[in-house]
Structure 1
């Protein structure tokens, strides 16, 4: 690097942080187990170095590595598709290991009570994605080459009403499922025999008069660790738990079964919160939060209510929360956003959203959050949002 100021020149050697691997003989790696993560076990990956996470790969997934930069490997998924993963999450295999390519064979759909199991024969663990699209689901296997002679439906089903596979490009095999109703949730795993199994969850039956009856709802009181603190010292974690307890009582009166991810002030890991919800078989998940500001932002101008989701099939739930919170509290509408939040990323089995109801740092809003009546109003708005979402789904509507 060379810097010139007023006739003075300073030169400093800089070490490059980009390595290009041999494109003719790329390195091959495998996603290593993460003993600290637990659920789900694997690695997050992004479309670019340091970008927002967009992929998840199970431990044992084989990867073709074509570059390295700043502690991340570039992974070739297909000739025109790449992703980046932390290098400490990958174990590089010996030179000469065959690249991450594999044969995709027979597909079998097996209807079960809670879900339709989609079993895809693959001869090695390859990167894959499951992408909901309203009333369709795309399962993409990168590095897969079609040898799919059989696609067995396993009998007529009322939820998965169509299935077809395609090879739209070299190294990209896609199975598309047509659904009778908007997608509710899915779970993917590698079977011990090597097959990729994607469970497509059936929407639960909904009684429009009492839509929450018989459903399992996971309520997550956000934080600790961390959390915002108001001007007089009120902690966000304390408020979130108070609202969660009130919401739990309302849900139980509506005949729902409630799972509270935490019931006291002990810190709880974000992935553990998601694991609790999935292990309980929750049909719906909501994480309760209050917001804070970064430095340099005027809280009196920028405060308001916002709601977030990550997986596309959760957007309608997030919109329902936003609508009911705005109706109840009349704060500024900061919108519904899709973002890569660690507590939401693992939750594919159910619609899941995170609400930011008020701003702890605004004195009037901190004072309101101390008030039990306001806490009750916030809880009731969340209850109405859940009922609203369920009634819309029962009517066959995809979004509010």
Structure 2
């Protein structure tokens, strides 16, 4: 379970297949092989301070608890490890002190900033808290081959996927286990006084590295298609939106809790190609100012999100949308808010979530809209890509400006 959770929670770039060799209660008298702790594969390989920290934590064999998750998110892991009586945490702290205090050897070379300012214990606390600037490691020789790892048949090794399947394009900036589910469902719409079938999905390739403005920032892009359709069984289309576009993601890959920038430029139509609307938007996600971020409350794992959004549209052909027919263009500002909680039971994982997405038309006010939803779902396991959910939604849809007041039962899947 640790091997599955840590890459997601700590933002590791590759799966950690090497389990604890550092979980010792006291500092070792000597580091027999520093490479066993940071896994240098080739001569000349280098690690940033952030990568070194992630690898040390990944090898410590930590048991995920609410206290540990809270310490990681609030950047207090160093204080917790320094005072904890848990063998894994105290072993992590002892190994960190030893690694950061190791002089240059025939195997590796450290570059340590402010080494004379902080004592070894204070430096280790700051390092585990996330203060990794000025610390790097250069490997002078290759590590011995790692022993073969036998993967249990009931816990298959993770594999990289080339595609993302989620609920909307805004999910592309989220970790895999926080993305919304692409869904197919049945709904009772009180606003339209009808029963409808519902489909919602966004499909994209994995974000591709486009540029690295600096060592600490990167820009990734991905083409995507987004499709939403609500259709009565009689064939009358109540909602039909097909969007083709490109998105850009700007982030600091070494700081998972920093703000993330997201933008897209797309052509919005329908599957009959009746409408023609050019749309562009920009979004900033603020993980560190969320009121809660992976907190535990009465056994429930809580998660929040907050995003600020601006968007623009040039309506060339409104298609069947009566509200878009009243508009030539619009410029809007708004936000996306979300709150969710989940808890594992013997029969599966129960999830409860709510969200509000609002847009205010700064130009004409004719394109203002906001939609609120609350729901509950069931998943086979915490990391499952399948979900069965019921949800209540009310408001005005963001893109097509259709009024909805509905209850939905839907089956979801994501990649």
Q: In which range does the TM-score fall when normalised by the shorter chain?
A: under 0.3
Q: By percentage of residues, which structure has more strand?
A: 2
Between 1 and 2, higher relative CO (CA 8 Å, sep ≥ 6) is seen in 1
TM-score (norm 2): 0.27
